Amino acid sequence: MAIKKLTSLTVLALFCITIMDCDSISPAIPAPKSLGYLSPNPYPFYPFPVPRGIKAAYWPSGNGFPASSIDTSYFTHIYYAFLLPEPATYKLNITTFDQEKLPEFMGALRARNPPIKTLLSIGGGGNDPIVFSNMASNESTRAIFINSTIEVARKYGFDGVDLDWEFPENHTDMFHLALLYKQWRKTLKREAKAIKKTRLLLTSAVYYATKITLLGKARTYPGNTIRKYVDWVSPMCFDYHGSWERVTGEHSALDDPNSKISTTFGIQSWIEVGVPPKKLVMGLLLYGRTWTLQDPKVNGIRAPAVGPGPGGGVLVYSQILDFNTE
């Protein structure tokens, strides 16, 4: 049974997120309002705007790629991914591995000139959402979690904290998520005032659209709360299709006229619930999805498939490069 390469539509950016619009958030590196060809151009000067906003990447601490190798010229912010709360205490679990990697990460990025902004990301895909659900359900447990995130962020010198809860499972979870965002932001503000330091940023990775319809009843993110209390959210505009389906599909489609599973639909849904474009950061990935085709002669989008392809259905960028040269 032959395998057909299907990577050209899936490779986007390595755990990378780029902003839609970010007028109210200062970039890490100040930029002039406009640039242009000044001399010896004999034609009239036509300035062009400098792109503004967030260009960030999640650095998976266990991927074997040293933080010192990150080319920070591409980014305004880098996320350390990931820490998790203890299921019993809701305090962040700093493993022996993290005790080694956190100083390495911060030391490498703080040594850059200018130093890049850093955020501590909590959660990630594949982790038990029940821990977040239980933590967010009570004001006192939310406080324990929030205070722990601030303590760790300040200890290592991060500029902000990021929540990647994948995913709230019902309406009650969404209600508690709104309370968590609000309490977190207010605590960050009080803490910054008390120690006379800049407030830590509060960001969150979220589902590509405001309404989650998978795994249970449909539930909707608290758009108004996000608008008021979160600095920005990053809709995860990827994993739309994969080898769990028996036909091939676009891993991260910008648009799909026949479906609501697309980035265009998702981003618009966030705007419609009141989250301004300046607080929307479109999330992209640099891994590819693979399938084993039923018939290698019948390939392309919507081709019949029998299961995962190389890499168990997923190839990271370096593997894609190697695969395409074989």
* Residue-level pLDDT at 92: 99
- 166 belongs to a structural domain: yes
Quote the CA–CA distance of 271 and 113 in Å, as a whole number: 36
- 291 belongs to a structural domain: no
How many domains is the chain partitioned into structurally? 1
pTM of the complete model? 0.84
- 275 belongs to a structural domain: no
Per-residue pLDDT of the chain (326 residues; tens, 9 = 90+): 444 433 322 222 333 344 443 333 333 333 333 323 233 333 333 343 444 689 999 999 988 789 999 999 999 999 999 999 999 999 999 999 999 999 999 999 998 888 899 999 999 998 899 999 999 999 999 999 999 999 999 999 999 999 999 999 999 999 999 999 999 999 999 999 999 999 999 999 999 999 999 877 899 999 999 999 999 999 999 999 999 999 999 999 999 988 999 999 999 999 999 999 999 999 998 899 999 999 999 999 999 999 999 999 999 888 988 888 88
* Residue-level pLDDT at 12: 25
What are the residue numbers of the active site? 166
Q: Are 67 and 115 in contact (CB under 8 A)?
A: no
- 65 belongs to a structural domain: yes
* Residue-level pLDDT at 21: 39
Q: Are 102 and 80 in contact (CB under 8 A)?
A: yes
Which CATH number do you get for residue 141? 3.20.20.80
- 282 belongs to a structural domain: no
**What region does 312 belong to: left with phi over 0, alpha with psi -120 to 50, or beta?**
left
* Residue-level pLDDT at 266: 98
Instruction: Encode 231-288 in three state secondary structure.
Output: CEEEEECCCCCCCCCCECCCCCCCCCCCCCCCHHHHHHHHHHCCCCHHHEEEECCCCE
**Chain centroid to CA 164:** 8
- 268 belongs to a structural domain: no
> Dihedral through CA 97, CA 156, CA 228, CA 226, nearest 10?
-10
Quote the CA–CA distance of 227 and 161 in Å, as a whole number: 17
**Domain region containing 54:** 49-230
- 207 belongs to a structural domain: yes
- 203 belongs to a structural domain: yes
* Residue-level pLDDT at 289: 94
Q: Rounded to a whole number, what is the distance in angstroms from the first to the last CA of the chain?
A: 18
